[in-house]
Amino acid sequence: MPLPAELSCDSVRDRLDPLLDGDLGQIDEAAVRQHLDACAACREELQLAHKLRDALRSGLPALTCPPAVTAEVLRVAREEALGAPAQRRTSAPVAARPAWWDRLHAWLAVRPAASPVASWVAVAALLLIVAAVPFIVRTVLSPERSGSATQATQTTRPALPAPSTGSTGSPAAESPEYTPEQIARAERQARLVLAAVAQVSRGAGRTVRDQVFEQALMRPARHAVESLEQIDAPADRQRRQP
Amino acid sequence: MMLEHFQALVEQHQDRVFTLSCYLLGDREEAADATQEVLLRLWRNLASLHEAGANGDGDGGGSVAAWLTRVTRNYCFDQLRKRRSQKNALGEEQEPEVFDLTAGDDPGPEHRASASDLGRHLRRAIRELNEPYRSVLILREVQEMKYKEISEALEMPINTVKVNIHRGRRMLRDRLRGVMGHAAAC
């Protein structure tokens, strides 16, 4: 038998799993074992490979499919076997729906076939949010309600250039003149307010979608539709029988 | 007759489909949806599968198990792609948490270690692996499939399957070194 070639630590580490699986050839195995005898770090790596194998065996169990999934699959299969079209919780023909409907569903991560009631509730809530945006903008920008806006007005007023005494009463004196600095500052403040409004509405939309829609509306609606269908299924079958 | 046969196949394969979906998607609810979809695809393709010579045992002609593995994997990849594009559209980057193993199953004494931190780290590390390492490791370590079965399911030569499993394990080792209490390799 030819002598095994010397291996580097990296090559040995590539061969540790094949070694444990018994997938190494005779010569290769001899070379790996020779290296392991001399290298403590690679021996420790072998121990780690052993540990990982144990962890993989105990830490990744097979799971059990929920019975509701099996029941739904068999129900649909039975319906299709009887010649009825697949009625998977669909209340209206999918083809009749406009494209925006599908895009909206995709955004809300809701399946039209899974929960039609929840879908309508979601659309209604979304329209409410859209309708509320102008009100939020007005509220935030209103000087009476916004303390920071009032404060900004108060601090900028004294900085305005005083009208010259010689032109008192003229239209030019009544309309105050602003320096480019003041205009730039006002623009910055307006941008900040708009950015804050956009941030708040984005965050609110996300929170409503994740927490209110999903937890309070979608799940209960889905369960309700499922139980209604389970109640309806035997009645449908009886109706179809001559 | 066909329906009875399908029911038998569902009972035989549903847990494998659900398990693979759960490990790939990392979410029980999405995995349940995926299982339902895949099993219904089996029902709708059962006649053509039989015509093609597939059988339930995996002996010759391509097995139903291999077909189901392929379809489940493709379906889950589609879902992951959709999830990524939705996240991009919403400007979100956070991946969902690793699924809770004990949410729907009674783990039993032999699986008690699975609910531990190491099990959680392991499931997360596997989900973070790239393909095909993630799939081959799940099929080998979780589904306990033989090299030949994996090779058939993923349409990959047996030697490639072996190499991918060994590389995947080494990647896991490197990722979990700290968690498993070993110093960094030299």
pLDDT in tens, chain A (242 residues): 555 567 888 888 888 888 888 888 887 888 888 899 889 988 988 888 888 888 888 878 889 999 999 999 999 999 888 876 555 543 333 333 444 554 555 455 444 444 455 556 666 766 777 777 776 666 655 555 444 444 444 444 444 444 444 444 444 444 457 778 888 888 888 887 787 777 777 766 666 666 666 666 777 777 777 777 666 666 555 655 55
Axis crossing angle, helix B2-25 with helix B64-90, rounded to the nearest 10: 40
Residues of B in Cβ contact (< 8 Å) with A74: 7, 10
> Is residue B74 predicted with pLDDT exceeding 90?
yes
The two tokens of residue A172 are 């030019």
Q: What domain count does chain A have? A: 2
- Residue A4 covered by a domain: no
Is residue B142 within 8 Å of residue B22, measured between CB atoms? no
Task: List all residues 6 or more positions away from A61 whose beta carbon is below 8 Å from its beta carbon.
Answer: B101, B105, B107, B110, B111, B114, B142
Residue B72 at interface with chain A, using a CB cutoff of 8 Å: no
Q: What is the pLDDT of residue B103?
A: 53
- Residue A87 covered by a domain: no
Q: How far apart are CA B13 and CA B35, in angstroms?
A: 10
- Residue A210 covered by a domain: yes
Residues A236 and A145 grouped into a single domain:
yes
Residues A132 and A187 grouped into a single domain:
yes
Q: Domains for chain B: give ranges and CATH numbers.
A: 1-96 (1.10.1740.10), 113-179 (1.10.10.10)
Per mean pLDDT, which range of A35-49, B51-65, B105-119, B138-152 is the poorest?
Answer: B105-119
The neighbouring-strand residues paired with B55 are B63
Of B99 and B34, the structure prediction assigns the larger pLDDT to B34
Residues A143 and A219 grouped into a single domain:
yes
- Residue A164 covered by a domain: no
The neighbouring-strand residues paired with B63 are B55
Task: Pick B122's closest partner by Cβ from A60, A73, A206.
Answer: A60
The terminus-to-terminus CA distance of chain A in angstroms comes to 82
Per mean pLDDT, which range of A75-79, A103-107, B56-60, B157-161 is the poorest?
Answer: B56-60
Among candidate residues A227, A241, A221, A220, the one with its CA nearest the CA of residue A71: A227
Q: Look up the pTM and report it.
A: 0.56
* Residue A25: domain span: 9-59
Residues A149 and A212 grouped into a single domain:
yes
SS3 of B104, please? coil
- Residue A84 covered by a domain: no
> Is residue B151 predicted with pLDDT exceeding 80?
yes
Residues A102 and A196 grouped into a single domain:
yes
Q: What is the pLDDT of residue A96?
A: 38
Residues A136 and A210 grouped into a single domain:
yes
Residue B22 at interface with chain A, using a CB cutoff of 8 Å: yes
CA distance A218 to chain B (A): 13
Residues A215 and A108 grouped into a single domain:
yes
DSSP code, position B57 = S
Distance of alpha carbon A79 from the chain centroid: 35
Axis crossing angle, helix B147-154 with helix B158-176, rounded to the nearest 10: 100
Q: What is the pLDDT of residue B51?
A: 79
Kindly state the percentage of chain B with pLDDT values over 90. 41
Q: What is the pLDDT of residue A114?
A: 43
Q: Do B32 and A70 touch (CB under 8 A)?
A: no
Is residue B14 within 8 Å of residue A70, measured between CB atoms? yes
- Residue A131 covered by a domain: yes
Residues A53 and A111 grouped into a single domain:
no
How many CB atoms neighbour CB B149 within 10 A? Answer: 19
- Residue A76 covered by a domain: no
A 180-239 near B (Cβ less than 8 A)? 206
Residues A17 and A102 grouped into a single domain:
no
Of A90 and B85, the structure prediction assigns the larger pLDDT to B85
- Residue A72 covered by a domain: no
Residues A42 and A153 grouped into a single domain:
no
CA distance B18 to chain A (A): 6
Residue A64 at interface with chain B, using a CB cutoff of 8 Å: yes
Residues A49 and A103 grouped into a single domain:
no
Residue A40 at interface with chain B, using a CB cutoff of 8 Å: no
Residue B52 to residues A76, A228, B4, B60, B157: CA-CA distances in angstroms?
24, 39, 20, 11, 21
Is residue A158 within 8 Å of residue A182, measured between CB atoms? no
